[in-house]
Chain A
Amino acid sequence: MFEILGYTFMQRALVASTVIGIVTAVIGVYVVLKGMAFIGAGIAHASFGGVALGFLLGWNLIATASAFSLAGAIGIGLVSRRSELREDAAIGIFFTASMAFGVLLVGLLRGYNVDLFGFLFGSVLAVTREDLILSAVLGAVVLLTVGLLYKELMFISFDPEMAQVVGVPAAQLYYLLLGLIAVTIVISIRVVGVILVEALIVTPAAAAYQLTDDFHRMMAIAVGIGVLSAVAGLFLSYWLNVASGATIVLTATALFALAVLLSPRRRRAPARPTGESEVAS
């Protein structure tokens, strides 16, 4: 039943899915713990303008999508840190503007055979050799960066103010984290699409969060769930002959539901403080 692995496109899809499963899960841990889920969705949608522009100009789509999602990430970061506007409102403004720009450009592209649907919802068939190499390289860069700044990224996710107080460059690391989210999204949109990529970032990490109260273990479990969702979803989509991106996302959702059912957090909650009686009220 694994004869499908003989197909080049399937091999590429499998490697790409695995890379994406790992990278999205790792970044997702920070996104979930830092409460940045909407930011992630915003950056993902912002990349759509870049995709459309790439089509129109005939440029490499990953390059143009990167430019847009990075610009979206920096814009969201600047607005949320510097202005009076609430962060969620800023995100709403940025990503819809980029989407609208993309829609306009797509209108200009009428007559071309644009696989718009593939970009919105993902398509394994679309993964070219160059895409795969670029994804692997960028994915490795993201993982290396996280590996080198592991303790600092954990600290700024937990308590950014205290991180700054003890001399960790919290503001710069926040921008770096936004950049890493942007890159992660760009390498994932071929397979799962602009709309669905957020699920791969949030769902495995959220599932892992149900299963452990240890940061390092949460990271490991999220990666496991991410890879399992990506690979199992890919095979399921092939056998059932349905859309790959959607199948991968729904596989992750099913694993999340399972994690909620098995969660020791539910059995433990509400957390009982020990010793002192300060919750006596």
Chain B
Amino acid sequence: MGVEAVPAVELENVTVAYGRTVALEDVSLRVAPHEFVGIVGPNGSGKTTLLRTILGLVRPVRGEVRVFGMPADTVGPLRRRVGYVPQIAPVDIRFPVHVFDVVLMGRFGQIGLLRRPTAADRDAARRALERVGMQHLADRQIGQLSGGQRQRVFVARALALEPDLLLLDEPATGVDPGARGSLYELLNRLHQEGMTILMASHDVAVVSQLVDQVACLNRRIVLHGRPEEVLGDEALEGCYGRGAIFLAHGRLPHIVVKTHPEGGTPPARPPER
């Protein structure tokens, strides 16, 4: 009764600026619990900023951001409910730390200061590693993994805190096509189990198959709706810039570029097949 009334993520007229550069303008978005929402849009369209705003890492100049009904920059309990996988983790891969330790770090927030990880924390980290199929590499130093393996470790780190909401920023970056399938399969399974997921991606084809809702972002939310509504829409041009046409091959939309859009950033490449 009314349990689902609180949206997992709620942005109201959010504007974010870095200095004079406006990264997000008047963005409103609601993600219901258990929903899988994909955010598509060209490079530089604000996808990463949107995720960082939801995480409370970036403060909007206008508008409100609430996560599970709490302001996004809440320090306490909220931080235990949100898992995040950055596009490229800003880490030194030569850092002397092993895969298992990295995953365990996901729990450091809820373990709290001055306390050591308990058996329960280690179990959670182990389960997260198993979910991404990396348990056999638990003792590897992280620099000895391939990019795709490392990405899965960072997914495991986000899962280790047993979040209710998972934010992923282009999780397929650096992952070779073969491993991409298993990554998306994992996301699909998490979704089936009731996890709320918000994923930024330029892989329109994949997004359309996985998610419940697509938001097309280009500083503003240009379109928002069910994948078949949004991706069939000619208005998707408005998101990727003039000249980009989406051709539907069965269910998979492809992006074809007629002319370069002004502004310089090329539109997203057609999904490799």
Q: Contact between B55 and A165 (Cβ–Cβ < 8 Å)?
A: yes
Chain B residue, CB-CB nearest to A148: B114
Q: Contact between B108 and A215 (Cβ–Cβ < 8 Å)?
A: no
Q: Contact between A274 and B145 (Cβ–Cβ < 8 Å)?
A: yes
Q: Contact between A151 and B148 (Cβ–Cβ < 8 Å)?
A: no
Of A33, A155, A161, A278, the residue contacting B176 (CB under 8 A) is: A278
Instruction: Give the residues in chain A near B108, CB-CB below 8 Å.
Output: 151-152, 155, 163, 166, 168
Q: Contact between B96 and A212 (Cβ–Cβ < 8 Å)?
A: yes
CB contact under 8 A between A213 and B175, given known A271-B143, A275-B149? no
Chain A interface residue number, banded: 35 or more
Q: Please, how many angstroms separate the alpha-carbon atoms of A154 and B92 in the complex? A: 13
Instruction: Give the residues in chain B near A167, CB-CB below 8 Å.
Output: 75-76, 79-80, 109-110
How near does chain A come to B44, taking the closest CB pair, in angstroms?
20
Of B109, B144, B161, B179, the residue contacting A276 (CB under 8 A) is: B179
How near does chain B come to A135, taking the closest CB pair, in angstroms?
25
Instruction: Give the residues in chain B near A280, CB-CB below 8 Å.
Output: 176
One digit per residue, 1 when the CB lies within 8 angstroms of any chain B CB and 0 when it does not, for chain A 99-133 equals 00000000000000000000000000000000000
Q: Contact between A158 and B146 (Cβ–Cβ < 8 Å)?
A: no
One digit per residue, 1 when the CB lies within 8 angstroms of any chain B CB and 0 when it does not, for chain A 244-281 equals 00000000000000000000000000011111111110
Instruction: Give the residues in chain A near B141, CB-CB below 8 Å.
Output: 213-214
Q: Please, how many angstroms separate the alpha-carbon atoms of A243 and B144 in the complex? A: 43
Interface residues of B in 99-134 (CB under 8 A from A): 101-102, 105-111, 113-114, 116-117
Q: Taking the complex as formed, is B266 at the interface, i.e. its CB lies under 8 A from any CB of chain A?
A: no
Of B80, B82, B98, B157, the residue contacting A214 (CB under 8 A) is: B98
Q: Please, how many angstroms separate the alpha-carbon atoms of A135 and B157 in the complex? A: 40
Q: Contact between A275 and B57 (Cβ–Cβ < 8 Å)?
A: no
Of B84, B114, B149, the residue contacting A165 (CB under 8 A) is: B84
Instruction: Give the residues in chain A near B174, CB-CB below 8 Å.
Output: 278
Instruction: Give the residues in chain A near B145, CB-CB below 8 Å.
Output: 273-274
Instruction: Give the residues in chain B near A161, CB-CB below 8 Å.
Output: 57, 86, 90
Chain B residue, CB-CB nearest to A29: B96
Q: Contact between A162 and B101 (Cβ–Cβ < 8 Å)?
A: no
CB contact under 8 A between A162 and B105, given known A167-B79, A212-B96, A275-B146? yes
Of A157, A168, A209, the residue contacting B109 (CB under 8 A) is: A168
The 7 closest A-B pairs by CB, nearest first: A167-B109, A167-B79, A166-B109, A273-B146, A213-B141, A276-B146, A278-B176
A interface residues, Cβ below 8 angstroms from B: 33, 35, 148-149, 151-152, 154-155, 157-159, 161-169, 209, 212-215, 217-218, 271-280
Q: List 15 A-B contacts (CB under 8 A).
A: A149-B113, A151-B116, A155-B105, A158-B92, A159-B105, A162-B157, A166-B110, A167-B109, A169-B113, A218-B96, A274-B137, A274-B146, A276-B148, A276-B149, A278-B148
